[in-house]
Amino acid sequence: MRIILPLLGKTKEQYLAAGIDDFAGRLRRFVQLDLPVLKEKKNVAREDQARLQQEEGQILLGSVPHSGGAVRLIALAPAGQQLSSEELAELVSRWEDQGVRELVFLIGGPTGLAAELIQKADYVLSLSRMTFTHEMARLLALEQLYRAFSIKAGTGYHK
């Protein structure tokens, strides 16, 4: 299985970048992981944030492989499904059993994901009802994916 988590811009906070690198390395023990860094939009006026979401959504969609039914597009959004770590592990296992080869996790920029992009997703996942920066969401998503694959492998990390 391959996991793709496209990043809108580089992670600027060093402590988050270090955590992302750590959990990316851990997760790569279980799956192929791609973290392409995409060009982010900058200096957008507050009244143009809806346009920004649309443009960033197009950039994110452009990074998604076109492998037919073997890809699952997962949008991370506060209104999504909240799962326990064990439930996430079960969901990933089900997708593997269904022949899914690639999971693409989409995290929006500072203004979040456009509603249209969320509607195109195969699954909408929420890390929490609380608000996190998009850079922090990257770290949390990678940690939870590592935890899910640790659960699947029967290691002790998830306890």
Encode pLDDT of 76-109 as tens digits: 999 999 999 999 999 999 999 999 999 999 999 8
Three-state SS at 31 = coil
Domain around 77: 6-41+48-153
pLDDT of residue 21: 98
CATH number at residue 73: 3.40.1280.10
pLDDT of residue 20: 98
154 to each of 3, 99, 120, how far by Cα in Å?
20, 21, 33
Task: Give the integer Cα–Cα distance in Å for 131 and 108.
Answer: 12
pTM score, whole prediction: 0.92
Per the structure, how many domains does the chain have?
1
Spans of the chain below 50 pLDDT: none
